[in-house]
Structure 1
């Protein structure tokens, strides 16, 4: 088995996520307690009890997802000795991947993504930015359409290349609305406005990137144990300077998820294991290539299933 470990991004969070893992495994509970200590507030209570609207806030959702994903990963790794060829994450998930690769400590990761979430929230006036998923339109055609709308004075650009037929756009509220309407006129099957607080992965996030760069420079990085596939260019990296540079640019650049998955497959990966709630990446990976094996570990049931499957290969 040539495996890649992958980690979900913001939007996958739900109240109660990871509950069965936290209930049964001391190492999972230890990470939850450490997150509370690092952040100085009860992230564990938000994860366990909500409310949903508080957990959805960017600066809560990001550390919550990193914590739950890291817990799922730690529980799995202590019971299975599969070494990944690569690790990767979608947006925020790239930090979870770096923690898994031991390039970044869990404590630093939780602290960084809490700050990242706050700075992303502050980067553009509340209610003035937007994101939308566009389904069923060619990515190149959508990118050209975004340039067309932006030339009229309402900025919009591609933010996520998720899988064939699913691309996310980001920009000003008016720019996204115009681009979504134009996409439908030009053959998109559907457009869906996303419940996010800002125009993430667009150039409107550059002020957040500047603050993040200064914070990334303070962190004690280590060389990653496994190659980490970057969102920004779908290429693997392991060195600390590469991590700092890519994470800075990532905030205002598109997530090249489809390209990342295809690059890992081209390098020999035949099995993807997603750590964290929701199974979003597992679904995207199967849409990219139905023949590839894609599993997820998000609770006691899926952990048991994946451990059994790994033992059989």
Structure 2
């Protein structure tokens, strides 16, 4: 397989009712993954993924195991077609799928972790004090300068592509920042429908608990090159991967730098593995010279296989 192929794994927001259904119905490898997942979690995961309701699937404690599992289903089908990654990364939640792909975590351990992570993130902000918003059409440094002027907690959660960041923090602070960013020249500020201020200091209550959960799980050293969200650099040792994963909960996802680093090291082909095409879309904004594909169903699988074979 291509020695410069990256698997990149989708994060929250990519889920939809019915994701993975075609692969489940047509590929034994995908069916096996979801059937195994269903035995591990404490609710009917398959029913929720295929039938919803959407409101339940969108609750972070369900979204996280759902996306992780569908991503693993896609990966299993790619493996069956002799498509293997030379390196991997994942956006926020997707980092757990990337660690599974990199041989750091077993599928079962990764699934239990993301279920727990989802529960903790859901509980971290019971009163709904936190929110997030996407900021379009403004340079990173300009966004950071505006945030520094705001009273209260508001930080950059995701550096997604040039001119697109997500901010996160207390509702009042995020709203005030949104108004000031619009005045200072942001093209758009879009409030996000989320159940908390992810990747911000408001996730601190969940961090200690997540830390003890992660520390209790066996991690292996990465078997292929893996770039962490919080450092935008390669991490190989299992202990360092654990540290990066714990920090990720309340720190920024440095996605632009992650892709730029892969490019600098000669990686040219990128497959978004899992539901949606968010990361594929970001690739176009980060660097159009790179080849970006996605696999989530029969059509996208066949299209990608045709391009890569």
Query: What's the counterpart of residue 223 of structure 2?
Result: 225
Query: What's the counterpart of residue 131 of structure 1?
Result: 132
Query: What's the counterpart of residue 20 of structure 1?
Result: 22
CA RMSD, Structure 1 to Structure 2 (Å): 1.0
Partner Cα distance (2:273, 2:231) in 1: 22
Query: What's the counterpart of residue 48 of structure 1?
Result: 50
Partner Cα distance (1:83, 1:294) in 2: 14
Asked if the contact 1:201/1:253 (under 8 Å) is kept, the reply is yes
Q: 1:83: Cα distance to partner?
A: 4.0
Unaligned runs of 5+ in 1: none
Partner Cα distance (1:89, 1:116) in 2: 15
TM-score (norm 2): 0.97
Alignment of structure 1 residues 1-313 onto 2, 5 Å: 1=2, 2-84=4-86, 86-149=87-150, 152=151, 154-311=152-309
Asked if the contact 2:29/2:80 (under 8 Å) is kept, the reply is no
Partner Cα distance (1:108, 1:126) in 2: 30
Instruction: Look up the SS of the partner of 2:149 in the other structure.
Output: helix
Instruction: Look up the SS of the partner of 2:15 in the other structure.
Output: coil
- Higher mean C-alpha deviation, range 249-258 or range 35-44: 35-44
List 4+ stretches of structure 1 deviating above 3 A: none
Unaligned runs of 5+ in 2: none
Instruction: Look up the SS of the partner of 1:236 in the other structure.
Output: coil
Asked if the contact 1:234/1:259 (under 8 Å) is kept, the reply is yes
For residues 112-160 of structure 1, the C-alpha deviation after alignment (integer angstroms, 9 at most, x for no partner) is 00110111111123321110000011111111211110xx2x2101100
Q: CA 1:18/1:185 → structure 2, altered by over 3 Å: closer, same or farther?
A: same
Partner Cα distance (1:40, 1:33) in 2: 13
For residues 197-227 of structure 1, the C-alpha deviation after alignment (integer angstroms, 9 at most, x for no partner) is 0000001111211111101111121122111
Partner Cα distance (1:177, 1:105) in 2: 41
Partner Cα distance (2:184, 2:191) in 1: 18
